[in-house]
Amino acid sequence: MSAEAEAVRCLLLAAYDARKRDLPWRGESDPYRIWVAEVMLQQTRVKTVVPYYRRWIRHFPSLEALAEAREEEVLLAWQGLGYYARARRLLAAAQVVRERYGGELPASAEELRRLPGVGDYTAGAVASMAFGEAVPAVDGNVKRVLARLFDLPDPGTAELRGLAGALVDPHRPGDFNQALMELGSTVCLPRSPLCPSCPLETLCLARGRGTVGERPARKGRPAVPGVEMAVVVAVAASVTGAAPEDGGHAGRPGEARETGASCGISFFLRKRRGTGLLAGMWEFPGVQVADAGRARGAALELVGELELDVLGPPVELDAVAHAFTHLKVRYRPFVLWVSGVGSDTEGRWLGPEELSRVPLPVAQERIAQAAIEVVRHGPQSL
């Protein structure tokens, strides 16, 4: 393996040096920034990550700045990137590093794995790129490259990590790991790989045997279930202004605030509790229904449970579909003018401008924008 490994290193690093992409975290020496980039890149395309990474670094330029941030502030900076547990774990890990390691990320993959949300891949990536430790970083792209390079139909995780560990360049481990990931991302594609452009073409067993399209073997994905959600977009005339910093009610109908107040409208939203997929994000109240035909009635029942007085008939907005990794959700929003502040003390009344100051999931953001348009310019029935 040693001669073959040396050939892989030489060919791969030469190609990487010649045509690597110009990315904002490339050449970065700050372990914190490398860590942030690698977490963002998990299950997310590079072109999507770049603007989020730049904004994040402006908001939280150091690990200490992140460790001091509020969860809502962190989720707002992450809004739209998806897989929000990554953001919450970044915050939790930053706080652990501040308390346990004096604000400095540990320099070994073994120590890094002890942090919240840091698995084998992230630990290997940060340890090799930031600290020069000769350890592998095996993501989905690397798995595909190795399966083809060694013509493995269904390799296991341990086998792939062993192969990657034997290949990693001891002198340039960070560059080698990035080169391998870059190859999978830009050349050794899942479908229609660009084999003639691959620096490892002459060493690739699958290329030589004509099995590239079969490596790794594709596994059937289980069907993703779908659900229908009735959503209440409660609208009230209000006195709006800046959202409070203490997390209390904002923009209660008829309730003036000390500065920047002006007459307008407010929407009622609630914060998701617990530790689930969208924990800590804000949303319009909703309830799952058996089918679309029951959404209107469920929305009216829900607004009644909130003890809000409905002032007119509900106006149904276009359905908003969103696919999570484990679930497909079709949201069916209904706009209702209401009066009173309601009985739900967990929620906030927010003006249209204030919605940008709380973290909203993508689907909820789309509902909010549609509701604002309807309320401001829509049917006279509102």
Q: What residues are labeled active site?
A: 38
The rounded distance, in Å, linking the Cα atoms of 284 and 281 is 10
CB neighbours of 133 closer than 8 A, spacing ≥ 6? 107, 108, 109, 127, 173
Task: Find out whether 319 and 334 touch, Cβ atoms under 8 Å.
Answer: no
The rounded distance, in Å, linking the Cα atoms of 373 and 196 is 51
How many CA atoms does the CB half-sphere of 262 hold within 13 Å? 7
Rounded to 5 degrees, what are φ and ψ at 283?
Answer: -155, 160
Give how far Cα 168 sits from Cα of 19, 104, 182, 191, 305, Å: 20, 25, 14, 26, 60
The rounded distance, in Å, linking the Cα atoms of 93 and 63 is 10
Give how far Cα 206 sits from Cα of 147, 209, 216, 268, 285, Å: 8, 5, 10, 57, 52
The rounded distance, in Å, linking the Cα atoms of 297 and 265 is 24
Which residue from 45, 57, 76 is spatially nearest to 140, judged by alpha carbons?
45
